[in-house]
Amino acid sequence: MYLLNSLSALKPKLKPYFLCNSNFNCNYYPITTTTTTTKSSITQMATKVDESNVGIFCFISNLPGFRGILKQRYSDFIVNEVDKEGNVAHLTSLDAPQEEIGEETVTTTEDTANTKSYASEIESFRSLAGDSDAKHLEDFINQINSGVEDGISPIVLSPDSDKSHRTAMHNFFKQNFKFLVTDVVDGPDASSKCIRVRLNTGGPRNKGRHSKKRKERGDKPFDSRGSENWSENNGKFLRFHLYKENKDTQEALGVIGKMLGIQPRSFGFAGMKDKRAVTTQRVTAFKQHASRLAALNERLIGIKVGDFCYVKEGLLLGQLMGNRFTITLRGVVADSDDTVKASADALGRLGFINYFGLQRFGSGSVPTHLIGAALFRGEWKAAVSMILDPREGERTVIAKAREYYKESNDIEGTLKQLPRHLVAERAILQCLKKCPGNYLQALKAVPRTLRMMYIHSYQSYLWNHAASLRVQKYGTDQVVLGDLVYCKGDNTENVSGGMPECEDDSYNDADDSNHLDEISGTDLPEERNNLVKVVTAEDIHTGNYTIDDVVLPMPGSRVIYPSNDIANVFHDLAKKDAISLLESVHSVKEFSLTSITGSYRRVFQKPLDFEWELLSYTDGNIPLVETDLEKIAKSKPVKKAREEDLANGNDKNNLVDCTKQSEILENDMKTETDDNEVEGEQEDVLPRVESQEPQMALKLSFTLPASCYATMAIRELLKTSTSVAYHKTLN
């Protein structure tokens, strides 16, 4: 039996729901004696979430674990998306395919119209208006050319009491900047006036807030700027492979979208990928030319795009089979090599308990399932407080902003300090600024993906506990009476429709993924059309079902529960949190278990195409597995690449020197975005490892269906916590 140290301290305060049976390798499973969760108890729990806090207790095998460091380098965790046909996405080429000359001409023309350099015009304006106004105008034009549509405020030039000079200025704008309009506003004194410059909402560029193009676009799902002359020979979507290092999916697409001047909704993808990892996945962009994206590679840091092709349909969330993982555990220490080999073989043969990993519950000091519980109880103000209040372990700039708001209640001042990547916090504050005291409306202002994340986190919390009880009471070998299983054949007696695991998830909201850090896969239906039934005595007698068929529900209005005592854990835990699974205390449907559909999830999962290998190394800073980018660099001879760079005028920072760039990126563990802010919570960075005596590493390669957590497979192998904090201590 493996008992986590953190639970030992909790034992005097907890009442055990069941005792451990060491045959099934489970840890202590507590339920508090209180029936409500007060604000003070929430405050007490405001520490980094541990596996024991979210129901992760058991293992499948009784084999001993061993020491191994997870994600010592982010390149130790490589993820490649697997599509519905079983094809693994790899970055193999950074070059754009040959396109029709006419299309290239159209693209070039469009780019020139939107991002023309006005350097000569600005220099002429400098001689007319002076350095200060010229710099002001240059910054204004750069802002327009960045692709930003909203929030472009007019600029006001220096006071000018000479009417004839102002007339010359007006005429200059008419002749040289047809996409701008000018008028006059009062100056600082009665004798002076100031020229105001603003975007022409009806001019040739037609980019204003009330422009015809904007009205026509309305709520269309894609940003179609620059696509009026799109060739009918091409599919409407450009599909490409997105390669990223130490960045989450939304952050990477945000950077690309900003460079292209298009909105995030133009992109489609099948699932979120881990942040602290090297990942490759498919992405689609609406009516964008490959040449434009390929040209970005020279400027992108930690991100690359390639393997372009045109397709008729854009990618949607869930259009993938799963992910291929290549994970390197460093610093392996075991009683013997045989211990490691036996554990690796057992993982491939028996699999692991399909828990929702720690990433599901957030990386901050306030676990997301506690916020979800508050939403189910209708405690809107408490939920807002948990999202906004100061937290442990955050970067100084975030901590100061949170403290400032708590002490001053100054929304405007807080918004100026709060980093833009804290989307939920900013959305709540902006709503409270307009509607003071309306906490429910403020919560609804949070992008839907994040709102549902809180809800799904609480469902996952209940599911994990139920899975632990199922393993503790009935083991991992066989189906038992009252279990839930996916139906086979025509046996549809006492069944319930199988729902997607997170039917309500949508990742179309912009920049709302920061709290989804390191999720290994997306919440998707395992088998959308499967029906679920309760196992009967006849089923057991005929042997129709195996342990691999067993599922447990994610609570909702359209699921059934096991007919054995495993169902009790759902209701007991919810009751402890003053939540009913059968009725709601409020009428807000999206925050009510009686209105959410619910779903099912397999209790046990085996890794597919499982391979493992023991490696030896001496320098912990050297990668042990080649990334896709490094393979591209090796495939192109350095001399030839150098010649091509010189021919293209790229004497420095050549794109082909991928290995060197990758090493630089690896050392810069806090890569920042263009907004000067690191996405998400402050990242727990493992220290750099100095050269030392030969060490052993375990390289694992396997495929998991979408929504499964690779970290839970590693946990089964090591028999230790998978938290970043724990693995930092191993260094």
List the catalytic residues: 274
Eight-class DSSP state of 88:
B
Burial class of residue 621 in the structure, from the number of CB atoms within 10 Å of its CB (0-12 exposed, 13-18 middle, 19+ buried): middle
CA distance 79 to 281: 8
Cβ neighbors of 661 (< 8 A, separation 6 or more) are 301
Sequence-ordered list of residues with C-beta below 8 angstroms from that of 87, at least 6 positions apart, any chain? none
Neighbours of 92 (CB within 10 A): 13
Residue 581 CA: distances (Å) to CA of 379, 393, 560, 584: 17, 34, 12, 8
Q: Which residues, at least 6 apart from 513, have a Cβ–Cβ distance to it below 8 Å?
A: 248, 249, 250, 251, 272, 449, 507
Q: What would the two tokens of residue 289 be?
A: 């030319």
Q: Which amino acid does the sequence have at 215?
A: K
Pairwise CA distance, residues 221 & 264, whole Å: 10
> To 10 degrees, the CA torsion angle through 622, 627, 629, 632?
100
Which tokens belong to 728?
């930092």
Q: Please give the sequence-ordered ranges of beta strands (E in DSSP) within 190-236, or none if there are none.
A: 193-199
Q: Which residues contact 729 (CB under 8 A, 6 or more apart)?
A: none
State CA 447 to chain mean position distance: 13
- Identify how many contiguous H helices and E strands the chain contains and give both numbers: 24, 21
CA atoms within 13 A on the CB side of 654: 19
The tokens for 297 are 């590679």
Q: Are 456 and 463 in contact (CB under 8 A)?
A: no
The DSSP secondary structure of 492-537, one letter per residue, reads: -TTEEE---TTTT----STT--GGGTT-SS----SSTT-EEEE--H
With a CB cutoff of 8 Å and minimum separation 6, the contacts of 339 are 63, 64, 66
The CA-CA-CA angle for residues 495, 529, 603, to 5°, reads 70
